[in-house]
Amino acid sequence: MCPSRVAEGEERGWIVPIGGAEDRETRRRILKRFVQLCGGRDANIVIIPTASRKADTGQRYVELFERLEAGRSVAIDFVERNDGQREDLLREIEGASGVFFTGGNQLRISTIIGGTPAAKLIRERNARGVPVAGTSAGASILSEHMIAFGKEGSSPRAGSVRLAPGLGLTNRFIIDQHFRQRDRLGRLVAALAYNPFAIGIGLDEDTAAFIGPDNTLEVEGSGSVTVVDAGGMEFSSMADVSQSQPVCLLGLTVHILVAGATYNLHTRQASPGTLATQKT
């Protein structure tokens, strides 16, 4: 799915992938910042719990956003593909000042919502300035290329990852979540071996990448974001090795970013951001 075109004079909305298990009880820095981007007490947040099989997932986020003083939040679940063209659900998305995808299974989102009028409308709303966030599976779905599933481990191996079309808000990156906790470096790097144009973003739990309209990523949360840039890759053996064999990749650039650090997805430059000012 290609990103929707941003009209002249307008700015794309923020894209906020979260690595899962975000803090919902104490400081709640990630969710608080998302609520503020959506308008704070004037916010109208649509929660999409389609990835989850738990019946109460959407309502739990409604109650959480209410505690964070969001003006209004509502959960709209897409149970079958026909729901993706229901006028009442499309009206909720059209009026939203923010959209939030919960965790679960990203393939449930892509197979139920992908290619429907609802998916197209979410892309259009983001292109017109509406922030879109997702946690865990909801983070993976945000980009054009989505990791559907794969094997854990720190070394890239042929066949260790399967890609599927995502929601398509952007084609600049590929997301993986629960990154350090589930040892997912190998499958993210393998995904980049298939598509070196994209930038790999590995999100630890309780950690988010706040990606602004200028394509600058800023880290928020208690963990780190691993950025893998394959743009300068000099060699890859991916096309020559057998299934499950390790892959040789030369020329990758890796950055480990923590809260306050930034990365520009356009220039591919990393910065300590606010961390630098803390030393002065």
Cα dihedral: 181, 182, 185, 190 (round 10): -160
Beta bridge partner(s), residue 255:
227
Annotation says 205 is catalytic: yes
Confidence of residue 3 (pLDDT cuts 50, 70, 90): confident
Strands (E), the chain: 15-18, 44-48, 72-75, 98-101, 132-135, 145-150, 161-165, 173-176, 199-203, 207-211, 216-221, 224-229, 235-236, 249-250, 253-258, 262-264, 269-271
Amino acid (1-letter code) at residue 33:
R
**Could you report the per-residue pLDDT of 143-161, keeping only the tens digit for each?**
999 999 999 999 999 999 9
- pLDDT score for 1: 56
Residue 2 has pLDDT above 80, yes or no: no
Which band of pLDDT confidence, cut at 50, 70 and 90, is reported for residue 5? confident
Alpha-carbon radius of gyration of the chain: 18
Q: What share of residues in the chain are helix, strand, coil (percent, to 5)?
A: 25, 30, 45
Q: One of 4, 73, 136, 140 is an active-site residue; which one? A: 136
pLDDT of 4 over the 90 cut: no
- Chain mean position to CA 261: 18
Rounded to whole angstroms, the Cα distance separating 32 from 23 reads: 10
Q: How distant is the alpha carbon of residue 127 from its chain centre?
A: 16
4 or 226, greater pLDDT: 226
| pLDDT tens, residue by residue, 243-276 | 999 999 999 999 999 999 999 999 999 999 988 7
Order of strands, edge to edge, in the sheet holding 15-18? Answer: 72-75, 44-48, 98-101, 132-135, 15-18, 207-211, 216-221, 262-264, 269-271
Average the pLDDT over 52-80 and give the result.
97
Q: Which of 178, 218, 220, 224 is catalytic?
A: 178
pLDDT score at 280: 53
What is the pLDDT, as a whole number, of residue 46? 98
DSSP lists the bridge partners of residue 157 as 246
pLDDT tens readout for residues 195-228: 899 999 999 999 999 999 999 999 999 999 999 9
What pLDDT digit, counting tens, does each position of 17-59 carry?
Answer: 999 999 999 999 999 999 999 999 999 999 999 999 999 999 9
User: Average pLDDT, whole number, for the chain?
Assistant: 96
Active-site residue, from 205, 218, 220, 224: 205
For residue 244, what pLDDT is reported? 94
Beta bridge partners of 208: 18, 220
The three-state secondary structure class of 162 is strand
CATH, domain range 15-277: 3.40.50.880
Give the list of residues 6+ apart from residue 191 with CB closer than 8 angstroms, or none: 145, 147, 150, 161, 163, 174, 176, 198, 200
The pLDDT-based confidence of 7 (bands split at 50, 70, 90) is: confident
Per-residue DSSP letter, 169: S
Query: Which token pair is 17?
Result: 């992938």
Note the pLDDT tens digit of each residue in 116-149: 999 999 999 999 999 999 999 999 999 999 999 9
3-state DSSP assignment of residue 74: strand
Mean predicted confidence (pLDDT) in 173-194? 97
Q: Residue 276's pLDDT is what? A: 74
Indicate the burial class of 177 (C-beta count within 10 angstroms; 0-12, 13-18, 19 or more): buried
